[in-house]
Amino acid sequence: MQERMGNPALVLPAAMQALTALGKVPAEVGLSPKLLELVNLRASQINGCSVCIDGHPRIAKKLGETDERLFAVSAWRDTPYFSDAERAALALTEAVTRTSDRADPVPDEIWDEATRHYDGRSLAALVIAIANINVWNRLNIATRQIAGAWKP
């Protein structure tokens, strides 16, 4: 496969600045960088973004994430490796990423579980992180960016 064009965020520097600034907000609010990489990886798996599936585990590893947790992200419900807060974040990630899979894309039970683990600012930051990785996934997929070209 060949990329169709450069990533739009690289083609339009103002877009890159905006997405980069948005991407910094969740960590600035206090969400764990390791949690954010789990979220990034799970959304990217769902969306089939090869660039992010290749890159985000690299970032997570640099942050000290373990192989067993990274390998288990797609099966987080069935493994003992994640905390209740991480499970709530991953469930919210799946719901927000798969908005067309059900009539109520983010059911109250998923939202309510997230509110048990994250305060208002942290939950807002988590939703922003999920939205931001979905933007990156869509930019990469639409323009057929090549996995491995981005080496974080």
Confidence of residue 152 (pLDDT cuts 50, 70, 90): confident
The percentage of the chain sitting over the pLDDT mark of 70, rounded to a whole number, equals 100
Rounded mean pLDDT, 109-125? 98
Which residue do the tokens 């683990």 mark? 117
φ, ψ of residue 52 to 5 degrees: the values are -75, -35
CA 37 to chain centroid:
6
**What's the rounded Cα separation, in Å, for the pair 84 and 97?**
20
Q: What angle do CA 62, 68, 59 make, to 5 degrees?
A: 20
Using a cut of 0.85, tell me whether the model's pTM lies above it: yes
Per-residue pLDDT tens digits for 129-139: 999 999 999 99
**What's the rounded Cα separation, in Å, for the pair 44 and 70?**
13
Per-residue pLDDT tens digits for 66-90: 999 999 999 999 999 999 999 999 9
Per-residue pLDDT tens digits for 24-47: 999 999 999 999 999 999 999 999
